[in-house]
Structure 1
């Protein structure tokens, strides 16, 4: 997809709560199939406090994806002004995962990516006061034994420093913290004693395994272990939750600030950024309903996936307005949540807003319930932004089957011309592909998350307008043929 004193363990057992769950993204947002909880496992933990990303000033979502089933990937992470060190850490991790996936799946001579997919999505844990927390969830199906993994990233605005998850715990309290974790995990169904000992054997192993920690709305600290870290892979993900009264004495000063801002978030985030860019939102308004008759004139439907993106979508809207061109935007839900103002601008200018899932998974890999969640959450975000629910969806990678269609009332939309602009970051090449290949009534696939794709649009509009083409939305094209 722009880092107290030891208390005897026996005294802690009554104060600790434990949750062990076997899951692979139980909320459906990660684009994975949920596993069933093991007999005797505690109920699925309540959700963490939600954060409205549209309130984060200057936020940009750094996204990348393909739209080809032969190389299926989608990645995203946030870039927040003032938290550059944290952004750099996320970028490094995402780039490494994506490079590895592309070298194994997309560039192998044997070809084919059946059953393989990389999806990295983001979730804000807290964005308040002088603290920022983000979780990246990675679903990697590129090799045997791979699956869901999660990691949290933290930024300390007071110190101007990136913190790992262990930075939430004070150095002199970590022995007590580690001991309490081991006590809660020992003897649990599926836990491997050797794996548990290895996890806590040295500082590097502990840092690698204890990389996902987040506070609950009540001030407790939830620690999540990825599949296979402390138990047999089939046992799934393990969670240990320490209640507020237990964890608070062990927290670092930074951890205590994160805890307070999670329990009682403030109205703003201030990380000490020297400059926060002012977002540009076009104010173009459609003059009325489109009366183009595609039976009588030559029509074409430009479609843009994966946005909205700042500032690219705003630039694109301005270009389209200059030619009175209408287009269809297939938006990703997590980006709609971050930039609802851009989605409103799309609708206000007479463009069509469609659904491209919440975080771009291969929908054919999901259960019907997860498909419904992916599309339902996105439709709700679009309606909240525009006042109108979408009627169309574009399945990521064009992957759709009877089960996906049965899980939604939305109409699927594929394409006739694929610019492959995700692969070729060359504005002139993208423009020439459309100009040379497009024919009457075609649907063209592009992405408004790539500056090079946005830069190609004026040349496309200028050239095809001169040839007599009219640019309409997908629904308009369908209705007038």
Structure 2
């Protein structure tokens, strides 16, 4: 059965022009209120990190395109920080398992508007210090479903550190007293509740799981809604100035503070081997002159990348058949791998926008939608020199608010391979071969090695049937 008709795939929609919210796609804009906080945002200004400078960086991505179980998760895998990567993976796997068994397993008629999104932000990647914040938005959870936690790696000791590891053991009492002093008079925060939370080790560790240094060396401590007061009071943030916090820091905390304020030129976590990134150098021979009125055309599209090394492998397969495709890229991955996006464009492929970190755009405000799309477009332009003209809304979820927030033209699909669900190359390939018809738009994902492995069989079989592989915009323009 065809999942979506041809007409929606080729419609040009959108009417309002909005100025880009950010000049560069790698920066995290400060959030001014908890109401605007979304996955990928920072609740307090911190020094930004350019992830493309981290040698050997891979982003562990997973997502679905299912309206009945919408999720998107990502966390970084940095050579040398395996213990920290394992801690992030354990958290993401646990949250995803809970979401799947709960929201995706109920019988209430689907999970529209209740997606799970876990995104990442680098806090520091310098010298022998790595810091990452994971932000979780679970629309199926109680209250606003928003939470965040920071993960730290000490390259000198070769050890993963929790957020509380930034503070010396002997200074914990003074540190907690300072936090309570700032929090006690806030509306919705009860002093007795604070005492109970901070005196119990498990409750304390849970509440104090999001700490990071500001650009001037202060320590920002963020509490999720309900951590230190009634949920109605919302999230709480305390910033302890550099002069006060520095004497209380652990040896690792002082190095993390120093590397945040004055970053080194490189990151070295003691990894025995940091792989060199594979970036293909295929170059398109010229403009595509395929006339889809005269020959059979299809548009293969790949979502959620770029991914290392999967996207590089895919580009090599496509070059062998002179096939052109459309990549709908996620902004945080573009920021991590701009070299792969440049390689895509150089090889004659189209680069589309798939939001910054894959939330359901229909659940966002116009301002948040604009930020998601504009930041991603800015990152694509920084990598390729060209601003995208098309976008694919995550999960195919689009409404009037989304259409009005951008001039980008939305692209859906006709054939859904469900390759996020079925990780078998032969099955993915056969789905495309069996279901694809002339002028179809096909949905795949280049973050999955199994999907990339299916591409040679797809190209071989459909080329033999006389199909030409073109970009979405070329297909639209020649019909």
After TM superposition, the score normalised by the length of structure 1 is 0.91
Residue 270 (structure 2) aligns with: 272
Partners of 2:435 and 2:112 in 1: how far apart? 28
Instruction: Give the deviation of 1:193 after TM superposition.
Output: 3.6
Of 9, 23, 46, which aligns to 2:34?
23
Partners of 2:468 and 2:160 in 1: how far apart? 50
Residue 371 (structure 1) aligns with: 369
Give ranges in structure 1 of 5+ residues lacking alignment: 1-19, 32-43
Residue 105 of structure 1 contacts residue 111 of structure 1 at CA under 8 Å; is this kept in 2? Answer: no
Cα deviation 1:73-118 (Å, max 9, x = unaligned) = 0000000000000000000000000011011122334440033110
Residue 296 (structure 1) aligns with: 294
Partners of 2:146 and 2:238 in 1: how far apart? 18
SS at match of 2:199: coil
Partners of 1:157 and 1:144 in 2: how far apart? 37
Of 181, 186, 197, which aligns to 1:183?
181
Of 132, 146, 149, which aligns to 1:148?
146
Q: Which of the pair has the greater relative contact order for Cα pairs under 8 Å at 6+ separation?
A: 2
Residue 244 (structure 2) aligns with: 246
Residue 455 (structure 1) aligns with: 453
Residue 427 (structure 1) aligns with: 425
Partners of 1:451 and 1:111 in 2: how far apart? 32
Of 456, 467, 470, which aligns to 1:469?
467
Question: How many pairs align?
Answer: 449
Question: Which range is displaced more, 68-77 or 347-356?
Answer: 68-77
Distance 1:458 1:21, change over 3 A: closer
Residue 203 (structure 1) aligns with: 201
Residue 309 (structure 1) aligns with: 307
Residue 113 of structure 2 contacts residue 360 of structure 2 at CA under 8 Å; is this kept in 1? Answer: no
Instruction: Give the deviation of 1:21 after TM superposition.
Output: 7.6
Instruction: Give the deviation of 1:403 after TM superposition.
Output: 0.8
Please provide the CA RMSD for this pair. Answer: 1.4
Residue 279 of structure 1 contacts residue 310 of structure 1 at CA under 8 Å; is this kept in 2? Answer: yes
Partners of 1:65 and 1:321 in 2: how far apart? 27
Residue 89 (structure 2) aligns with: 91
SS at match of 1:105: coil
Of 339, 349, 352, which aligns to 1:351?
349
Residue 107 (structure 1) aligns with: 105
Residue 39 of structure 2 contacts residue 136 of structure 2 at CA under 8 Å; is this kept in 1? Answer: no
SS at match of 1:200: helix
SS at match of 1:190: coil
Residue 381 of structure 2 contacts residue 388 of structure 2 at CA under 8 Å; is this kept in 1? Answer: yes
Cα deviation 1:174-199 (Å, max 9, x = unaligned) = 01001111111102112134432332
Residue 114 (structure 2) aligns with: 116
SS at match of 2:327: strand
Instruction: Give the deviation of 1:311 after TM superposition.
Output: 0.1
Question: Which range is displaced more, 458-467 or 44-53?
Answer: 44-53
Residue 80 of structure 1 contacts residue 87 of structure 1 at CA under 8 Å; is this kept in 2? Answer: yes
Does 1:237 find its partner at 2:235?
yes
Question: Which range is displaced more, 200-209 or 371-380?
Answer: 200-209
Partners of 2:145 and 2:444 in 1: how far apart? 29
Residue 124 of structure 2 contacts residue 260 of structure 2 at CA under 8 Å; is this kept in 1? Answer: yes
Question: Which range is displaced more, 179-188 or 191-200?
Answer: 191-200
Instruction: Give the deviation of 1:374 after TM superposition.
Output: 0.3
Partners of 2:40 and 2:217 in 1: how far apart? 25
Instruction: Give the deviation of 1:25 after TM superposition.
Output: 4.6
Residue 62 of structure 1 contacts residue 79 of structure 1 at CA under 8 Å; is this kept in 2? Answer: yes
Does 1:395 find its partner at 2:406?
no
Instruction: Give the deviation of 1:130 after TM superposition.
Output: 0.2
Partners of 2:130 and 2:291 in 1: how far apart? 51
Residue 22 of structure 1 contacts residue 235 of structure 1 at CA under 8 Å; is this kept in 2? Answer: no
Give ranges in structure 2 of 5+ residues lacking alignment: 1-30
Q: Give the 5 Å matches for 1:406-421.
A: 406-421=404-419
Partners of 1:198 and 1:98 in 2: how far apart? 30
Cα deviation 1:345-395 (Å, max 9, x = unaligned) = 000000000000000000011111111000000000000000000000000
After TM superposition, the score normalised by the length of structure 2 is 0.92
Residue 130 (structure 2) aligns with: 132
Residue 24 of structure 1 contacts residue 236 of structure 1 at CA under 8 Å; is this kept in 2? Answer: no
Partners of 2:421 and 2:39 in 1: how far apart? 26
Residue 323 (structure 2) aligns with: 325
Residue 4 (structure 2) aligns with: none
Cα deviation 1:214-251 (Å, max 9, x = unaligned) = 00010000000000111221221100000000000000
Residue 73 (structure 2) aligns with: 75
Residue 22 (structure 2) aligns with: none
Residue 141 of structure 1 contacts residue 147 of structure 1 at CA under 8 Å; is this kept in 2? Answer: yes
Residue 164 of structure 1 contacts residue 211 of structure 1 at CA under 8 Å; is this kept in 2? Answer: yes
